[in-house]
Amino acid sequence: MQKQQRINKWVVAALLAGASTAAPMAAHAEISANLSVASQYLWRGQSLTSGGALSGGIDYAHDGGLYAGFWTSSEDEKTEYDLYGGYAGSAGRLHYDIGYTTYWYTEFGGDLNFQEAHLALAYGAFGVSGHFGVGDYGWGDGAEKNRDNYYTLSYEYQRFGALLGYYDLDDNDLRYTHLDLSYEVYDGLVFTASQVIDRADDDHPDAVSDNLQFVVSYTFTF
């Protein structure tokens, strides 16, 4: 499972199908659900599991542009729950998405919980996005300000996809760039190879794996 790719594809679909500037007078809404199985959980160039992962979610999209959703995934020692919402629209051939996501985890006393705001733009086969940390990591007296930022540049050609991501983690001054290459064999079945191609010197040499990651995932959409 490549979570970032999943979100990007859903956003593009929402932009093309539900964010027309010439919406009909009678508004409609669409509810969809998805279930995925994958060889591992790939998160921004890093593997979060030592084995397979199971995930699923439900999305609501209004043809006026508003959307909301819930998504959950298994991880090695915890379960992740995401709540997100936003607005998607278009101006000519330029499509945009502005949204907010809250990430919740069942373990570690809530220390890993955090929130992000994002802005995504798509023009033809090209896309760019920025994900900006807001609020705090965790909660209570141990909460720390979330200033992490993540940026992507992506391109899709037929069933091939490429994503270049740059992650800037403010808390430990850790920064790295990764490249993901994907191929969709048929609808829902995706092979992804991911590699960290550059990283800044920091005090945590083992915090980011430089190993080449391979993921096979299959997503059912209802």
Domain ranges across the chain: 3-221
pLDDT at 107: 77
The CATH topology of domain 3-221 is Porin (2.40.160)
Measured between alpha carbons, how far is 211 from 170 in angstroms, rounded to an integer?
Answer: 23
pLDDT at 172: 65
pLDDT at 98: 97
Measured between alpha carbons, how far is 165 from 122 in angstroms, rounded to an integer?
Answer: 16
Tell me whether strands 53-62 and 149-157 are parallel, antiparallel or unpaired: unpaired
pLDDT at 106: 87
Residue type, 164: L
One digit per residue, the tens of pLDDT, for the chain of length 222 reads 655 444 444 443 433 333 333 334 345 789 999 999 999 999 999 998 999 999 999 999 999 999 999 999 999 888 999 999 999 999 999 999 999 999 999 876 667 899 999 999 999 999 999 999 998 888 777 788 899 999 999 999 999 999 999 999 876 678 999 999 999 999 999 999 999 999 876 656 667 888 999 999 999 999
DSSP string of 23-89? --SS--EEEEEEEEEESS-EETTEE--SS-EEEEEEEEEETTSEEEEEEEEE-SS-EEEEEEEEEEE
pLDDT at 37: 96
| Residue 32 bridge partners (DSSP) | 59
Q: What's the distance, CA 70 to chain centroid?
A: 13
| pTM, rounded to two decimals | 0.86
| Range 114-123 burial, b when 16+ CB lie within 10 A, else e | bbbebebebe
pLDDT at 35: 96
Q: Which of 53, 88, 87 is nearest to 72 (CA)?
A: 53
CA distances, 213 to each of 23, 41, 184 (Å): 42, 10, 17
pLDDT at 121: 96
